[in-house]
Structure 1
Amino acid sequence: MASSIRVISKSTIQSAARNSDSPLKIELSPWDLEALLLDFLQVGFLYPNPKENKDTVIQNLKASLSSTLDFFPQLAGRLTVVEHDDDTSSVFINCNNSGALFIHAVAEGLTISDILLPVYLPPIVRSFFPLTEAKSYQGTHKPLLAVQITELVDGIFIGCSFNHTVSDGRSMFHFLTSWSQISRGVGMLSKPPTLERWFLDGTDRPIRIRFPKEKVNHSRLLLEERVFHFSKEKIAELKAKANAMVSSNYKISSLQALMAHLWRSIIRNQDMDPKEEVEFVMVIDFRPRMNPPLPLNYFGNALEDGMVTMKAGELLNQEGLGKAALEMNKAVASYTHEKIIRHMKSWLEDPKLLTVSDMFADVVDMGGSPTFNGYKIDFGWGKPVAIRSGPGDKSHGTIIVFAGPEEGDIYAEVHLPYKTLEAMAKDHEFMDAVTPAVGFFTAAAVKKMTTPVRSSL
């Protein structure tokens, strides 16, 4: 599968309708500012070749991206830093229409099967994502949105990178869904974004922080990645099993049961001391948890990290599935409006910027959400056959979840050492819940998806 990436062109895509002479300025909330040191959010979509020719597809994607930026002007802007006399800085989004980055590339000789059939993510897929080395605070001079269209022999991969200060996962998928709708010919969006950020009453604005003056380096430990697919039926079995282990006062969700199942296998296959404490971190979207709730189309960061801590032996005993799922359930339920406000007040008193090592050192952490349905991202030539996240902000034990190809399915990308992933593949208790599938296709079906002639893209 040896292949190389050849860049055909790079261009800047601006909003067609925005006037950069008097740009909109968007102040950043504490939740946005926390992400300044983090990598860009990244997600990509793999499609079979469209029927249209190459030039038509690329020009349509550029034109529809420009039209979509009319509704999302912050993604065509840049960060602006204002330095103050007390050695602090404030940051805002200057919607000056500097533009998004658009890259057109070719992966010579690479096919869809080369990406989907290997057990582990082929390393070349990481090169399908732009700005993989960028940090969010570099949005002062780097685009806040970058897109790379990579041609394969029989398909295309659309890799997208979003500055994490500007967007969280829900906002990212809101934009991508909007872009795909406009690409299909929808003139006006049914759910335009809410651009204004939410602030606690009485917050001194702009918020001042210690902005990094020097380049912040994060040692990127690129481990193996493997995708596990879980069908609606298998998830229902796990959910029923977990609920049978807990009091009827609690209702374990499908995601909580599945994450407990995954966590148990990861810990079981690392030969840990039963007395050792293990931690699981999950991202909690608190838009619906505020009082009143934030709109679901609130565009920005609205996340908190919920943590569960257990002894390894407690997690792995006979009732461990129910216990772990229950602790996750309680952690999520604890994030009330009042708790979120307390966290914000505490942060405002002592602002701290997150780093990957601070957040995820020696833990299993879950990002993404099964509400993010990338299989509905249709640019006019059908649904993707697979979704993959990029290398940004991944560490030992990172799990990224998305909705699966069929309703109720969930798939999880798991980032761990090869030895651990191999052990999980031999873990019969874990693998009993895994459904062999690659995107919409079984491995056997993917093998038949060969295109001998490069007829379109």
Structure 2
Amino acid sequence: MGHVRYISTTTVQPTLQNESTQRIELTPWDLQFILFGYSQKGLLFHKPKPSTYDKYPNKSLIQHLQTSLSLTLDIFFPLAGRLAITENEDDNTTSFSVDCNGAGAQFVHAVADGVTVADILDPVLVPSDIVHSFFFMNGVLNYEGVSEPLLAVQVTDLFDGIFIGCTTNHSVVDGSTFWRFFNTWSEISRRAETSTENCRKISQPPPIFSREFFDGGIIDFPVRIANFHNQVPKNRSPALSAPLHQRIFNFSKEKIAQLKAKANAEMGTTKISSLQALLAHLWLSIIRNKHLNPDQESKYTLLVGLRQRFQLPLPEEYLGNVVQFGTVTSTVSDLLEHGLGWTAWEINKMIASKTKDEVRKYLEEWIESPQLIQLNNLASDYSFGTGSSPRFNMYGNDFGWGRPLAVRSGAANKSVGKLTVAPGAEDGSIEFEACLSPQTLQALDEDAEFIASLSK
């Protein structure tokens, strides 16, 4: 394997520079992530053909991507800002907001000498040493966005491919907003737009930054956090009880339909979704192969999207986090005895419990007593956490030379038990990036029932 060489680092600012003093307040949904690492997601492509460059007169591909990113930041201008921190002297609390100052995003051009597309896609285990090097700002936590860029892009040239990795501040955007940004940037690049005016005509609706949705006593901005600095972790890397390996598990549309039908039939319902059945199947398969004590408690934590669960549904274009953690808890014996349908139904009930009243109650209680979540509280050898969504448009990101070959994530927020979901490359398929111990992955590989559920 080759190694990554950094060619250049550039600050990319919006093309429309102004003396903006706009501030966007962070909500409890945003602030719950303030001690997490930045989000890291990227796309692997074949290397563009020489004819692709004909659309970019007198420009290299890197220059074109920088220009199109600058135009995209005209639309998503908060990502070109920084976090602003306010120490409230009247009650010794801390508040955060986004300062839309146009300071810029970081753009890194790198080369992975000797690394091919096959080196990334062919191994059974994700080659983490290489893939993680495709992302910038490793180890940066969200609260550090006060001095660090809120967005860093690394474009890495491979021998026969290219990887575009984005690192974004998770206290500013959730997965929905992140992929809307990615979709907008790829469309601007694909259309080879050169002016902000033309960019306003693209298919992606512009983001909405307003916090007026929280008027009427829901949130009294700014949100204040007591003893914030005492909660910042001294050890940034959770201790692992076992070595961590990563593997991509892909489930075809047909296999998912079979699991959904089985789960619903077992419970005499039609309400269990494809994803809920798949989550239950994965949870059960891992538990079955870990041979845990039957009385051991296991938890599955999900990020539940709330845009349609707010009192007045928030628009999909709303820029910010609109997600909440939800957890299903069971003993190992109950999971294995009750099986797929029961486990999927428990997940379904948890998600259904996030009603409009419960969502508002969460916001009010969080403001009264802020709870800053740390990663090592969510996943472990026997408890699991899933973020992202198979509904995000990841494979539609054509920058002008074809659709992506694969989606990969960086090192941020990784721990044993992290199961990141994404759409698969094939229509209707779903894949999981599973961070598990080598022993658990080996056991899954020898489990005929589990292997039969995977795409061929």
TM-score (norm 2): 0.92
In the TM superposition, what whole-angstrom CA distance separates every residue of 1:330-384 from its partner, at most 9, and x where no partner exists? 1111100000111111111111212102333451111111101311111011101
Q: Provide the residue aligned with 2:65 in structure 1.
A: 61
Does structure 2 conserve the Cα–Cα contact (< 8 Å) formed by 1:424 and 1:430?
Answer: yes
Aligned equivalents of 2:11, 2:320: Cα separation in 1: 23
Equivalent residue in structure 1 for 2:216, among 187, 191, 201: 201
CA RMSD of aligned residues (A): 1.6
* Unaligned ranges ≥5, structure 1: 437-457
Answer yes or no: is the 8 Å Cα contact 2:224–2:367 preserved in 1. no
Kept after mapping to 2: 8 A contact 1:42/1:160: yes
Measure how far apart 1:212 and its partner are.
Answer: 2.3
Letter in 2 for 1:91: F
Counterpart secondary structure, 1:236: helix
Q: Distance in 1 between matches of 2:10 and 2:185?
A: 18
CA contact (8 A) 2:134 2:165 kept: yes
Q: Which runs of 5+ in 2 are unaligned?
A: 194-198
Q: CA deviation at 1:216?
A: 4.4
CA contact (8 A) 2:20 2:100 kept: no
Give secondary structure in 2 for the equivalent of 1:37.
coil
- 1:106 aligned to which of 102, 107, 111: 111
Rounded to whole Å, the distance in 2 between the matches of 1:140 and 1:217 is 20
SS in 2 for 1:309: strand
> For the Cα contact (< 8 Å) 2:378–2:384, is it kept in 1?
no
Partner Cα distance (1:112, 1:103) in 2: 20
Q: Does 1:25 align with 2:23?
A: yes
Q: Is the 8 A contact 1:78 1:142 kept in 2?
A: yes
Matched, 1:131 2:141: no
Q: Give me the whole-angstrom Cα distance separating, in 1, the residues matched to 2:27 and 2:324.
A: 13
User: Which residue of 425, 429, 434 maps to 2:445?
Assistant: 425
Residue identity matched to 1:90: S
Alignment of 1:217 with 2:235, yes or no, is: yes
Q: Corresponding residue for 1:410?
A: 430
- State the percentage of identical aligned residues: 46
In the TM superposition, residue 132 of structure 1 has moved relative to its aligned partner by 1.3
**Runs of at least 4 residues off by over 6 Å:** none
**C-alpha separation in 2, matches of 1:358 and 1:219:** 12
For 1:386, the equivalent position in structure 2 comes to 406
Report the counterpart of residue 170 of structure 1 in structure 2: 176
Q: Which of 276, 281, 301 is the matching residue for 1:256?
A: 276
Q: How does 1:203-282 map to 2 (within 5 A)?
A: 203-210=219-226, 211-212=228-229, 216-220=234-238, 221=240, 223-248=244-269, 250-282=270-302
Q: Which residue of 2 aligns with 1:398?
A: 418
TM-score by length of 1: 0.91
1:203-243 CA-partner distances (Å, limit 9, x unpaired): 33212113327674322547100001111001001111111
C-alpha deviation, 1:200, in angstroms: 5.7
The Cα shift of 1:271 comes to 0.9
- After superposition, residues 21-170 of structure 1 pair within 5 angstroms as 21-51=19-49, 52=52, 56-85=60-89, 86-122=91-127, 123-170=129-176
Secondary structure of 1:408's aligned partner: coil
Q: In 1, distance between residues paired with 2:378 and 2:451?
A: 29
**How far apart, in 2, do the equivalents of 1:87 and 1:359 lie?**
29
